[in-house]
Structure 1
Amino acid sequence: MSSAQHLLESRPLSVAHIFLSRIRATPDGEAYRYPVAAAHGAPGAEEWRSMTWATAGERVKAIAGGLLALGLGPEERVAISSSTRVEWILADLGVMCAGAAATAVYPSTNADETAYILADSGSRAIFVENAEQLAKVAAHTERLPGLDHAILFDAEGDIPEITGVDVLTLAELEKRGTAHLAEHPDAIDTTVAAVRPDQLATLIYTSGTTGRPKGVRLVHDCWSYQGVVQEVTGLVRPDDVQFLWLPLSHVFGKALISGQLTTGHVVAIDGRIDRIVTNLPAVRPTVMASAPRIFEKVYNGIAARARAEGGAKYKIFLWAAKVARDYARTGQEQRVATGTSRIPLGLAVQHAIADKLVYGKIRAAFGGALRGSASGSAALAPEIGYFFAGAGVPVLEGYGLTETSAACTVSPPDDYRVGTVGRPLPGTEVRVAEDGELLLRGPGVMRGYHNLPEQTAEVLESDGWFRTGDIGEIDKDGFVRITDRKKDLFKTSGGKYVAPTEIESRFKAICPYVSNILVIGNDRNYCTALITLDEAVITPWSAAQGLAGGSYAEIVSSPEAHALIDGFVQRVNGDLQRWQTIKRFSVLPRDLDVEHGELTPSLKVKRPFVEREYAEVVEAMYEGAREA
């Protein structure tokens, strides 16, 4: 038996077991870094503060003791509604060490859906970030007769009183917990010892793009597996510094925390998306995870700055970008064919020159220490992947779902292949059904949907195979490629099948101005597209066209912008079958976002929602059209 197999088969019983073991192993090691207001400096200035594992342990035990003092029992649900911050992690670990189960609630969730999730999960308590999140609970207390307690991270502003709900601060909960543990010093160890691998650890609700969200039941063994498998595959190491901004209410963020508990590396945590670019040089991470949209924005931003500088600098960037792609593509092809990344001398020399002129600056923007980045939740355009790989910032694509506790396939750090989502993780099986749907089986797979046995039976076979809803293929080396969502595939009125995400990915690869694109055509006689542009990139372009000072909506509705995007649409169409081509498109007056419900918190487009919201725009693209 290999050491990896041994670690997997002897993995810890629960998240709580992993955490207590980590405290004992490296009490003085740095666990977390988090931003706080600077003691000195200009208003709004921030600095990073550190927390050791020992300190984290003290706080987590106090939180767990507080929950026990409130009467929480095994597997009883405690919700968390907050942005990504260190208190989210401490609260979640406190829930685990109290033997309870966490219900993850996105802070962007509206009051109605928040109430639905709390009621459906049967949550008895909830951690809320601030008064704004607490107000969502207060708005629907009549629907939450089982909710007894609400704990505030930030007790500022107008705190609403809630009849029948005990509202207290996190500090007050920790104080109660410390007092409880003084009377019952063995309470945490006794509680954790009783936690079983098959015990419910987390309820994460799917995004709910079509109807109410479903609660995915993930047990302790799911997270224990995620933690150990990240260690044995070398995705994370004990000496890593990981920058974490992903929403912790999302399964990807939760899986990253499991990996950290297992290896003990440092996590710098700050969920503010508008601070990512500022944080990277300050944190200097060695690893980070992200959604493809972030890499697309970084690439588009780099290209836009080079274009604005014009002349020789822009030509150098275009040359360097091509060299990066050629270098990465050639290395991958050689690695696949011969097992060695042999680069021709001429290309190697060009790459060395481009590295000094361009790539070093790109790596510096990521902090200068990044050895790799994981990407998930949606497909990364291959041309973007090749660019970053050639620039020395390899993006390792992975694949997983909420129902599989995040990753089930990941590109190996030493053999990543752009355009694939890697190989199955150790202990996970993947196969392709007759209709092309990917099926998965392994320790990370959920134990079903909460209170929904019929819907569970639709996707989870009795022998453990999970139907993903994704169409894919597996090559001879075991690498998996996702071709489309089964439910996203559509058939034109002419009977031709179209995979929209493939077309969208191609468009993003060539158009540096795009933010989001949605290809439409189900039961229609041709394909159309809704497109939004990246404001940070299109605004400088508009100034050069004599449109300076215009609003975003004015810029994107201009004839000049339409002609610009039409050029890229025609380039994409040139490589497509006739029935796949985009015959008409509309540039929307604003970008899609989470706040309007058009994107999930992991930045995936909610297709049905967007199509409904812009139904008039879509219909206008088909009015008076002849058969294509």
Structure 2
Amino acid sequence: MSDTQTLIENRPPSVATLFLERVAATPDAEAYRYPVPPASGEGPDDWKSLTWAGTAERVRAIAAGLIELGVQPEERVALASSTRVEWILADLGILCAGAATTTIYPQTNAEESAYILSDSQSRVLIAENAEQVAKAVDQRAELPELTRVVVIDAAGVETDDWVISLAELERRGAARLAKDAELVTERVAAITKDQLATLIYTSGTTGRPKGVRLPHDCWSYMAKAIAATGLVSGGDVQYLWLPLAHVFGKVLTSGQIEVGHVTAVDGRVDKIIENLPVVRPTYMAAVPRIFEKVYNGVAAKAKAGGGAKYKIFQWAAGVAREYAKAAQDNFRRTGTASVPLGLGARHKVADTLVYAKIREAFGGNLRACVSGSAALAPEIGYFFSGAGIHILEGYGLTESSAASFVNPGEAYRTGTVGKPLPGTEVRIADDGEILLRGPGIMQGYHNLPEKTAEVLEADGWFHTGDIGELSPDGYLRITDRKKDLIKTSGGKYIAPAEVEGRFKAVCPYVSNILVHGADRNYCTALIALDEAALAGWAAENGMEGKPYAEIVAAPATVDMVDGYVQQLNEGLQRWQTIKKFRLLPRDLDVEHGEITPSLKLKRPVVEREYKDLIEEMYAGTREA
């Protein structure tokens, strides 16, 4: 048996156990950094630190406080908060009490929050602030099993016997521990690997969300498997901003506990650009939309700088892609990432002019990024690779604890999601669907045995619903969602995500795009533009200061986007090409339910919302 197999197969039953082992091993090492905004509301944040011992003190108090409230093993404690250090402390407290965390996105409306609280039978809700507390108060009559609400930021919240502050919960927990010092240690020791740890409700594209049951063993396995990849080490600094209510953010906390590196936590997306030079991370995880925004921002800035600057950027972008492809191809053949001499010389010039500034914007220390949740357009991936920002694409689902595949360090291949994590099996079904089996797979959907049976076979194989291809040496390429494949009326199959990804690499002003064409005789697209990126172009074209809706309605804007659509079409098969498009009057967003909190497009919602625009593009044509 290999060292990796031994590491994984001898894993403890829970991450709660791993956490206590980590605290015992490195009590004085830095565990977390978190921002404290200035009291005046102006100026930079003050970043504070927690050691592993300091983290453990708070986690034990939270765990004991929950036990004092009567929370029993496997009972659910809901957590409705944005990404902040208290989310991690609360989650670890719940796990160390032997209970299970029900995650709720802070953007979730009161009705759906109440559904999740009710369906999960959550006993306690840990809410971020007054806004989250109000949702529970409004629905209290529908939630008889919810015995208490604990609020992290109690400003503006009227506390009483039903609503208490997190500080009060910790005070009660500390008092309980003063009488029974081994209370939490005993709860952790009693956890079994099959005990429920997390209930994550998939945001889904249709219908009610489904609760995915993930036992303690899933997270213990993920922690060990991530460590076994060798992608992270104890000396790393991770910048964690992803939603922790999403499985992608959550799995990053497990890997960190096993490895013991520092994590800087701040979920404010509008602070990412400001935080990166302060945190100076060695690695971070993100969704493709973030890399798309950075790429579009750099391209738009270069364009706004004048023709000469934009030509330099375009040249440098071409060199980056050529360099990345050559380096990756050579590494695949020989094990070294060498490139031809002339290309290396051009790359060195481009690095001085363009790439070095991009790396500095990421903090200057970034060794690698992990991208997941949706497909990254390969041309954007190659650009960053050539610029020295190495994006390791990974793949997984809520039902597989997030991390089923990841690209292996230096041997990464842009356009693939890498190889399976140690201990995870994969096979491709006859229809191209990816099937997974291993310790990261869910127990099933909460209270939905029929839905579970639809995707989980008796022998453990999970049907992902994604279509993919495996290379002879084990790299996986995702083609599309099985249900999202388009079949035109001419019988041709099209993967819309592939076309959409290509357009994002071509047009620096796009925010979201939806390609439509199922049962039609040609493809069309709904396109939303990025307001920030568009502002510079608008100013150059006599529309400075005008509202977004007015800019996108202008003929000049339509002509500009049409140029990029034609550029896209040049690289597509005839049946894939976009024959018509419409610019949307606003960007797609979470609030309107058009994208999920993890920034995935909800196709049915968008197609329903803009049905008239779609029909308009097919008006007067004869459908075959």
8 Å Cα contact 1:410/1:425 also seen in 2: yes
Q: 1:530 pairs with 526, 529, 533, which one?
A: 526
| Aligned twin of 2:184 | 188
> Is this contact kept in 2: 1:203–1:215, CA < 8 A?
yes
Note the residue ranges of structure 2 that are not aligned, 5 or more in a row: none
In structure 2, what residue type is equivalent to 1:33?
Answer: R
Which residue pairs with 1:312 in the alignment? 308
Give structure 1 stretches of 5+ with no counterpart: none
SS of structure 2 residue aligned to 1:80: strand
Q: Is the 8 A contact 2:520 2:623 kept in 1?
A: no
CA distance in 2, matches of 1:518, 1:346: 40
- The separation in 1 between residues aligned to 2:580 and 2:283, in whole angstroms, is 41
Deviation by residue 1:390-413 (Cα, 9 ceiling, x = unmatched):
111100000000000001000011
- Secondary structure of the residue aligned to 2:323 is helix
Aligned residues of 1:328 and 1:386 also touching (Cα < 8 A) = yes
- In the alignment, structure 1 residue 30 sits paired with structure 2 residue 30: yes
- In structure 1, what is the Cα distance between the partners aligned to 2:621 and 2:46? 58
Question: Structure 1 residues 348 and 462, CA, compared in 2 at 3 Å: closer, same or farther?
Answer: same
Q: For the Cα contact (< 8 Å) 2:288–2:372, is it kept in 1? A: yes
Partner of 1:601: 597
Aligned to 2:155: 156
Corresponding position: 1:450 with 2:449: no
Aligned position for 2:54: 55
5 Å-filtered alignment, 1:460-609, equals 460-609=456-605
Where does residue 325 of structure 2 map in the other structure? 329
Structure 1 residues 574 and 356: alpha-carbon distance in aligned structure 2, compared to 1, 3 A threshold: closer
- Larger mean CA deviation between 147-156 and 517-526 belongs to 517-526
Cα deviation, residue 5, structure 1: 1.5
Q: Counterpart of 2:127?
A: 128
The SS at the match of 2:205 is: coil
Out of 395, 399, 404, the position equivalent to 1:399 is 395
- The whole-number CA distance in structure 1 between the counterparts of 2:247 and 2:232 is 17
Structure 2: distance between partners of 1:111 and 1:402: 23
Give the Cα separation in 2 of the matches to 1:182 and 1:158. Answer: 29
SS of residue paired to 1:493? coil
TM-score by length of 2: 0.98
3-state secondary structure, aligned to 1:257 = helix
| Distance in 2 (alpha carbons) for counterparts of 1:24 and 1:409 | 31
Q: Is the 8 A contact 1:135 1:160 kept in 2?
A: no
CA distance, structure 1, for counterparts of residue 88 and residue 157 of structure 2: 25
Compute the displacement of 1:579 (Å): 2.5
Q: Tell me if the contact between 1:66 and 1:176 (Cα under 8 Å) persists in the aligned partners.
A: yes
Is the 8 Å Cα contact of residues 33 and 50 (structure 2) preserved in structure 1?
yes
Matches within 5 A, 1:180-259: 180-259=176-255
Once the two structures are superposed, residues 571-597 of structure 1 have per-residue CA deviations (whole angstroms, 9 ceiling, x without a partner) of 222232332221211100111111221
Q: CA deviation at 1:627?
A: 4.7
Q: State the 1:38 CA deviation.
A: 3.4
The corresponding residue for 1:119 is 118
Secondary structure, in 3 states, of the residue corresponding to 1:406? coil
Matched, 1:9 2:9: yes
Residue type at the aligned position of 1:29: A
Percent sequence identity over aligned pairs: 65
The root-mean-square deviation of aligned C-alpha atoms, in Å, is 1.3
Preserved contact between residue 363 and residue 393 of structure 1 (Cα < 8 Å): yes
Residues 38-437 of structure 1: pairs in structure 2 closer than 5 A: 38=38, 43-159=42-158, 166-437=162-433
In the alignment, the residues of structure 2 paired with residue 473 and residue 437 of structure 1 have an alpha-carbon distance, to the nearest angstrom, of 9
Task: Say yes or no: does 1:625 pair with 2:621.
Answer: yes
Distance change (3 Å), C-alpha of 1:224 and 1:583: same
Local SS of the residue matching 1:354: helix
How far apart in 2 are the matches of 1:158 and 1:412?
47
Amino acid at match of 1:338: T
Helix, strand or coil at the partner of 1:380:
coil
Which amino acid in the other structure matches residue 167 of structure 1? V
Partners of 1:138 and 1:160 within 8 A in 2: no
Contact residue 33 and residue 262 of structure 2 kept, 8 A = yes
* CA deviation after TM superposition for structure 1 residue 339, in Å: 2.6
Report the CA distance between 1:528 and its aligned residue: 1.1
State whether residues 500 and 519 of structure 1, in contact with CA within 8 Å, keep that contact through their aligned partners in structure 2: yes
CA distance in 1, matches of 2:455, 2:299: 43
SS in 1 for 2:204: coil
Shift of 1:142: 2.0
Alpha-carbon separation, structure 2, partners of 1:538 and 1:45: 28
Q: Which amino acid aligns with 2:524?
A: T
The separation in 2 between residues aligned to 1:504 and 1:312, in whole angstroms, is 29
Distance 1:316 1:490, change over 3 A: closer
| Cα distance per residue 1:237-264 (max 9 Å; x no partner) | 1010000000000000110000110011
Structure-2 separation of matches of 1:154 and 1:439 = 43
Specify the SS of the correspondent of 2:410.
coil
